[in-house]
Amino acid sequence: MNTIKEQWFGNVRGDILAGIVVALALIPEAIAFSIIAGVDPMVGLYASFIIAVVIAFVGGRAGMISGATGAMALLMIPLIAQYGLEYLLAATILTGILQILFGVLKLARYMKFIPRSVMVGFVNALAILIFEAQIPHLFGQGWLVLGLAGATLAIIYLFPYISKVIPSTLVAIVIITGYTMFTGLNVFTVGNMGALPETLPIFLIPNVPLSYETLAIIFPFALALTVVGILESLLTATIVDDMTDTGSNKNRESRGQGIANIVTGFFGGMAGCAMIGQSVINVKSGGRGRLSSLVSGIVLILLILLLGNIVVQIPMAALAGVMVMVSISTFDWNSLRTLLIVPATDSIVMVVTVVTVVLTHDLSKGVFAGILLSAIFFVSKISKISIKSELDTNKKKRTYFIKGQLFFASVTEPIAEFDFKEELNEVVLDFTHAHIWDDSAVAAMEKIITKFEDNGTDVEVTGLNEASTLLVDKLRHKLSSH
Amino acid sequence: MFNKILLASDGSEYAIRATEKAIEVAKCNPETTIHVVYVAGDSKGDVLQNWNTLGAQDKRKEKVSPSVEKLEAARIKYEVKYLHGEPGPAIVKHANENDFDLVVVGSRGRNRLQELVLGSVSHKVAKRACCAVMIIK
């Protein structure tokens, strides 16, 4: 999969078939994610079409599927509710610009600073939010709606035992929609949620004033969309890398996601990113190349244009059923099993990430909370230093062996371990197993030395490693000058 | 007579017994190469647990290491191959596409619950592989 030709035409048959399967599975999700965000179904469908097609050309990971996603839709809810669609489109374009910057500045490598437990918390929180968004569509509307959603789920999980060729979500949607259409059941449908014009998307500049106020409104949303979009896309790319035993260009993928979002914003689509579930379906159905993403986008829009009048008949209960399945498969169930096995701090970080997201409804805030907490845990873990000492009674000389990382967080407590009042001729501070990192550590060292010297004890410092010595020399000079 | 043996391994006790039997068969013929195959079913879970593909691969190496150690000790030629997907179909596909002479597989694996719902891997392999299959109890 190295040359461009191979990435496009190395697997034509598999890519076309998988692309069709993905398109069929994309339709219910794109509609449901639009409804989560609070926009017309067409906004999500346009987004999935445009993003899939654009990413086929500019993405960094062949065989990955991108489109409108739940993670992004959840971030848009307040923007749509307060300011409306035009501001969402503007935010989508700004998201694209920020993502291109992310790619150009090659920031993908900094993703390693996001701990594993934060990633697990991210997907779990995403699953919970998707489920939560379905509650109004599921409950409080009588048993009929719950029954339809239950039947949808049953078909989704049981149909694969009959055939795996057709996506079971589509089969469920078709059966349930057919049932409600023929029996004339009066339930909420996609048509009740918004218009579904049977037209291709057209180029439009979002109708917002080009002012500082607009930027102030959309920037926080665009930033959150950028972070979440890149995070999910790079996670998905890594999963596809692993499934196919091939590599991918993460910075190119970030750039590609940006370009796709700019284009979708100008054509009336909402911001999107890579989709874990759809990419897994694509690879499992035999999709490997760029063609699979292109085919999925084109087939999706053709189906919508041809079958739009049937799509509006899809009951909301059936879509809610599909979303419950998406939420179940998004959740990392393994993390519950290992919750008590992994270090407690990791579990706490995961849970805090989840709780922050569920409370704020903002995935990016959860990620920041998780990273911050992990950093604090890490600092407190490595700030444990040990001090042992040995007394040479003949020479009245005590040697302190200091072991660990000396920095701002680790130097306040150990001072208490030194006995400055002891009757001694000489004190040796042995730093062989220590590293001095910052000015707080140097200042603390100074303090210890002066305290001993005030007491009339000579101090000798030994075993400082080269980096520590350099820092001490540089800082002692500066610190003593003020 | 068996030049190319596929040994399915997931690090379970059954897989270790299967390794021992595969070594006995391989000793009859100096030409034999044993291909140790491990099927990674859950790429998403593995990547999430390890953040990157390298970490995920390390975990898989650990899973086949009991088999590999036994093969090293017995001085049998071997190769290790990691497949992706559902264990049963993935092993069958690999066996049939690469002209293996024999597939050796444990009668049970790691996941009892999955076996109950989906049927056992060894059963699927015995039914669908085109070559000889040895199921180790």
Model-level pTM? 0.81
Q: Report the pLDDT value the prediction gives residue B109, as an integer from 0 to 100.
A: 65
> pLDDT digit string (tens) for A320-333?
898 898 899 889 88
- Tell me if residue A331 falls in helix, strand or coil: coil
Contact at CB, A245 and B82, closer than 8 angstroms: yes
For residue A215, count other CB atoms closer than 10 A to its CB.
Answer: 13
> pLDDT digit string (tens) for A230-280?
989 998 998 898 888 888 888 999 999 999 999 999 999 999 999 988 998
Q: Report the pLDDT value the prediction gives residue A450, as an integer from 0 to 100.
A: 85
- Of the candidates A112, A120, A244, the beta carbon closest to that of B48 is on A120
Q: A88 vs A55, A232, A256, B73, CA distance in Å?
A: 20, 20, 20, 64
Burial letters A155-182, b for 16+ CB under 10 A, else e: bbeebeeeeeebbbbbbbbbebbeebee
Q: Provide the number of CB pairs (under 8 Å) joining chain A to chain B.
A: 44
Q: Report the pLDDT value the prediction gives residue A197, as an integer from 0 to 100.
A: 72
pLDDT at residue B24 is higher than 60: yes
Q: Tell me which residues of chain A have a pLDDT lower than 70.
A: 1-2, 476-482
**Which residues share a beta bridge with A109?**
none
- Tell me the shortest Cα–Cα distance from A414 to chain B, in angstroms: 35
- Of the candidates B43, B82, B85, the beta carbon closest to that of A239 is on B43
Measured CA angle at A240 (ends B58, A295), to 5 deg: 165
> Could you tell me which CATH number the domain at A386-481 has?
3.30.750.24
Among A120-124, A431-435, B17-21, B43-47, the minimum mean pLDDT is found in B43-47
Task: Specify the CATH class of B4-136 in words.
Answer: alpha beta
> pLDDT digit string (tens) for B48-57?
776 656 667 7
CA–CA distance, B93 with B80 (Å, rounded to integer): 16
The residue-averaged pLDDT of B123-130 equals 86
CA–CA distance, A119 with A261 (Å, rounded to integer): 23
CA–CA distance, B59 with B40 (Å, rounded to integer): 10
For tokens 């990430």, name the residue: A353
**Which residues share a beta bridge with B135?**
B105
Q: Report the pLDDT value the prediction gives residue B111, as an integer from 0 to 100.
A: 63
Paired tokens of B115: 């076996």
Contact at CB, A241 and B53, closer than 8 angstroms: yes
- Of the candidates B45, B53, B84, the beta carbon closest to that of A332 is on B45
Q: Report the pLDDT value the prediction gives residue A414, as an integer from 0 to 100.
A: 75
pLDDT at residue B13 is higher than 90: no
CA–CA distance, B71 with B91 (Å, rounded to integer): 20
Contact at CB, B49 and A245, closer than 8 angstroms: no
Q: Report the pLDDT value the prediction gives residue A482, as an integer from 0 to 100.
A: 45
- Each domain of chain B, given as residue ranges in start order, spans 4-136
pLDDT at residue B88 is higher than 50: yes
**Letter for the amino acid at A54?**
V
- Each domain of chain A, given as residue ranges in start order, spans 4-332, 386-481
Contacting A with CB below 8 Å, chain B residues are: 40, 42-53, 56, 82, 84-85
CA–CA distance, A348 with A356 (Å, rounded to integer): 12
CA–CA distance, A76 with A39 (Å, rounded to integer): 10
CA–CA distance, A270 with A253 (Å, rounded to integer): 19
Q: Report the pLDDT value the prediction gives residue A1, as an integer from 0 to 100.
A: 47
CB A276 within 8 A of CB B44: yes
Contact at CB, B43 and A243, closer than 8 angstroms: yes
